[in-house]
Amino acid sequence: MSPLATAALVAPLAVAAAWCLWRGLRPRRRTIAEVRAILRPPAVATAPMGAGRALLAATRPGITAPLADHVERRLGTGLALVGMTGADVVARVLVGLGVGTGTAAAAIGSLVAAGTLPLTPVWLPLCLAAGAGAGVVMWSDVRARIERRRRELRRTTNDVVQLIAVGLTTDQSVEEAVHFALGVGDSDMFDLLRDELASAPLRGVTLWEALDGLGRRHDQRELCELATSIERQGTHGVSISDTVTSLATSMRAKALDQLERDADRANANLVAPTVGFVCTTLVFLAFPLAMRITEAFGG
């Protein structure tokens, strides 16, 4: 096969692979059934993952339904933080497998057609390994995005509790302090909290039930504690200023401890590059002197 014919074959394959990758990574809009599941009453919404898996199993026949269910069990509610479902993750991994395998096959085929590489069966496992590596990269990317969003949610929860404590010190009511805290931030996690509390009256859910449900769903114990304090104030009229202040102080101490650990981890990660840079610099500076000494003794 001539190089021109090889290029004519590889170019459409590369364009098709790029289009499939773009199509697989494009965010999917929520369906009407998913919106109804979000606005479902609390008695049904206590197990959102089970209902979601049943809906996915009913609407995705074939092998993708068990795979999507397994992904949802592995990743849990972290998928909701990144706006994805188990089917989206499966699609990304499958697209990565296909694109990695196709790209490796196209590259090796081009080199074989050009005569640079011999035609042997060894290249088939190599292409499959490249596809598996691409799938692992896609899976790791989803895991990293979920972990990043969870850290953002923890920081947002900390900020909200701190702001509520500040609002309560200015003689605001609990509802006013919560709305004040949520109105300050402009991140996606603040939007998540605002949307959750804004949709609570439509679902017939009180403020503390919405906060408690959000905390349980995303494993934010501080939100559950805040919800318990707000419920005690709303049902028994007990002042919660001291309780929220203590919670804010505890969360602030945990955040500072986490920052110190992150700083120590960053310093530890810089040790090896720093040592390598210093050693390389010393060798570079000492090499001319060592050569001169060697030449002098040799002479």
Number of H helices, E strands in the chain: 14, 0
Residues 178 and 119 in one domain: no
Tell me: do 156 and 176 sit in the same domain: yes
Q: What is the pTM of this model?
A: 0.63
pLDDT of the residue at 62: 52
- Taking the C-alpha atoms of residue 14 and residue 126, their distance in angstroms, rounded to an integer, is 18
Q: What's residue 53's pLDDT?
A: 43
Hey, what are 145's tokens?
Answer: 């995005």
Residues 212, 216, 217, 221, CA torsion sign: positive
pLDDT recorded at residue 14: 77
Q: Is residue 97 in a domain?
A: yes
CA distance 108 to 87: 31
Measured torsion, CA atoms of residues 282, 288, 289, 294, in degrees rounded to the nearest 10: 120
Whether residues 28 and 125 share a domain: the answer is: yes
CA-based nearest residue to 178, from 256, 233, 246:
233
The per-residue pLDDT for 63 is: 55
Distance CA 30, CA 89 (A): 15
b (16+ CB within 10 A) / e for 75-97: beebbbbbebbbbbbbbbbbbbb
Which regions in the chain score pLDDT beneath 70? 1-7, 10, 24-31, 33-64, 298-299
Q: Is residue 283 part of a domain?
A: no
For residue 174, the model assigns a pLDDT of 80
218 three-state secondary structure: coil
**What pLDDT, on the 0 to 100 scale, is given for residue 7?**
66
The size of the chain, in residues, is: 299
Share in percent of the chain as helix, strand, coil (round to 5):
80, 0, 20
Backbone angles phi, psi at 97, to 5 degrees: -60, -45
d(CA 100, CA 169): 57
User: Do 130 and 155 reside in the same domain of the chain?
Assistant: no
Instruction: For helices 207-217 and 174-184, give the axis angle rounded to 10 degrees.
Output: 50
What string of H, E and C letters represents the secondary structure of 114-182?
CCCCCCCCCHHHHHHHHHHHHHHHHHHHHHHHHHHHHHHHHHHHHHHHHHHHHHHCCCCCHHHHHHHHH
> Are both 221 and 119 inside the same structural domain?
no
246 shares a domain with 127: no
pLDDT, tens only, 228-286: 888 887 777 777 778 888 888 888 888 888 788 878 888 888 888 888 888 888 888 88
* 102 and 8 in a common domain: yes
Residue 276 lies in a domain: no
Q: In the chain, how many domains are there?
A: 2
Exposure string for 126-145, b = 16+ CB within 10 A, e = fewer: ebeebbeebbeebbeebeeb
Range(s) of the domain holding residue 159: 151-267
For residue 273, tell me if it sits in a domain.
Answer: no
Same domain membership, residue 172 and residue 115: no
CB 220 within 8 A of CB 247: no
Same domain for 175 and 67: no
Report the candidate in 56, 67, 55 with the shortest Cα–Cα distance to residue 97. 67
What's 202's DSSP letter?
Answer: G
**Do both 198 and 218 map to the same domain?**
yes
